[in-house]
């Protein structure tokens, strides 16, 4: 297929509904809807953890046929309180998704998520398979220790040595054996002189490694203090706690629970953040899904080949409800 034949994003889309939902335990969630109010519902599950939703995420589904639902997970985006890790675990987020589903009167919905969004979507589907019509997942992240070691030890470091050195220089050499723990102690420090530089460094490391081609605008966005603190603190909180899963590989060991759910797995061949092995392992555990490896892409959802496969998948599954 030539580059000219690739599918592209749908046009920018206005919201028809937005609001806030009180969780009852100190958090208030922001949610939004766009597209067709009577269409097949699809929930967009953003990455991070701590990344928040953005307008580009509205543009992967056909708005004439789909009721597109987005929400900001606890502590990030427009949800409040910002950057809070109190009462903030995978299981709280799954409860929030169920709370939002009931609030919006949705019986079953498609889950569309990438990176950490794929992790959370899988965890939700395993917990509530009867509520999921399809799973469209990108940049698979199973939150296994091997994946954390790849990105925060010697894997991605070998591909981005200059970015790694900038990331590592914020941590004394004696602590660099466990970068996640070292950053966590700084990110939860109440002193902004400690947690803000750490947040910027953590976020820029990830922003620099997301795509095949360097994106200076993305790196600037990731370094913005208003974004970086929630992203870095919440993400590190989840990673230091191993995603709050009972054991390493928990998602794969329970994948039999989603055997009856159709879907697609989209992954960049040269994904440096979450290597393609994770997508391959998920496919073995979830054989009803179609695996689509993009030969000229990394991790970012906005790379042309990733966009093509995701838009193709949403078109194929758009009438599932």
Give the H/E segment covering residue 320. Answer: none
Per-residue model confidence (pLDDT) at position 219: 95
Return the pLDDT at 2. Answer: 59
Angle CA 311–116–214, to nearest 5: 70
Tell me the C-alpha distance between 126 and 259, whole Å. 10
Q: Which of 79, 271, 278, 308 is catalytic?
A: 271
**In the prediction, which pLDDT does 214 show?**
87
In angstroms, the CA 66 to CA 61 distance is 7
In the chain, CATH 3.40.50.1820 sits at: 3-143+245-316
Whole-number Cα distances in Å, 250 to 127, 145, 162, 253: 12, 11, 34, 5
Catalytic hit among 115, 133, 203, 211: 115
Tokens of 133: 């019509």
- Is 299 known to be catalytic? yes
- Per the residue annotation, which of 46, 61, 299, 308 is the catalytic one? 299
10-residue stretch averages of pLDDT, the chain, 321 residues long: 82 98 98 98 98 98 98 98 98 98 98 98 98 98 98 95 97 97 98 98 98 93 96 98 97 97 98 98 97 98 98 91 56
DSSP-derived pairing of the beta strands 289-294 and 40-45: unpaired
Task: Give the homologous superfamily in CATH for domain 3-143+245-316.
Answer: Alpha/Beta hydrolase fold, catalytic domain (3.40.50.1820)
Strand order in the sheet with 289-294: 15-22, 28-35, 66-71, 40-45, 109-114, 132-138, 263-268, 289-294
């Amino acid at each position: 297929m030539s580059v000219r034949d690739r599918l592209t994003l749908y046009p920018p889309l206005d919201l028809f509904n937005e609001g806030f939902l009180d969780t009852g335990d100190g958090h208030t969630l922001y949610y939004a809807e766009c597209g067709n109010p009577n269409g097949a519902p699809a929930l967009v599950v953003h990455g991070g953890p701590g990344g928040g939703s953005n307008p580009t995420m509205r543009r992967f589904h056909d708005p004439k046929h789909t009721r597109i639902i987005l929400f900001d997970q606890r502590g990030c985006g427009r949800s409040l309180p910002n950057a809070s890790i109190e009462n903030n675990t995978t299981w709280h987020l799954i409860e929030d998704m169920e709370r939002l589903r009931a609030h919006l009167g949705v019986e079953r919905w498609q889950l569309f998520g990438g990176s950490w969004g794929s992790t959370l979507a899988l965890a939700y589907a395993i917990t509530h398979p009867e509520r999921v019509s399809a799973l469209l997942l990108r940049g698979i992240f199973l939150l296994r220790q091997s994946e954390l070691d790849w990105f925060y030890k010697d894997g991605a470091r070998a591909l981005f040595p200059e970015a790694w050195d900038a990331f590592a220089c914020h941590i004394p050499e004696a602590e660099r054996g466990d970068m996640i723990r070292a950053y966590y102690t700084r990110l939860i420090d109440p002193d902004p002189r400690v947690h803000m530089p750490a947040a910027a460094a953590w976020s820029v490391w990830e922003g620099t490694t997301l795509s095949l081609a360097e994106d200076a605008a993305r790196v600037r966005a990731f370094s913005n203090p208003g974004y970086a603190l929630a992203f870095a603190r919440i993400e590190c909180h989840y990673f230091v706690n191993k995603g709050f899963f009972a054991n390493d590989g928990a998602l794969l060991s329970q994948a039999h629970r989603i055997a009856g759910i159709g879907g697609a797995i989209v992954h960049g061949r040269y994904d440096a953040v979450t290597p393609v092995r994770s997508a391959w392992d998920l496919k073995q555990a979830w054989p009803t899904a179609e695996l689509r490896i993009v030969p000229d892409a990394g991790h970012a959802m906005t790379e042309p080949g990733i966009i093509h496969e995701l838009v193709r998948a949403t078109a194929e599954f758009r009438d599932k409800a």
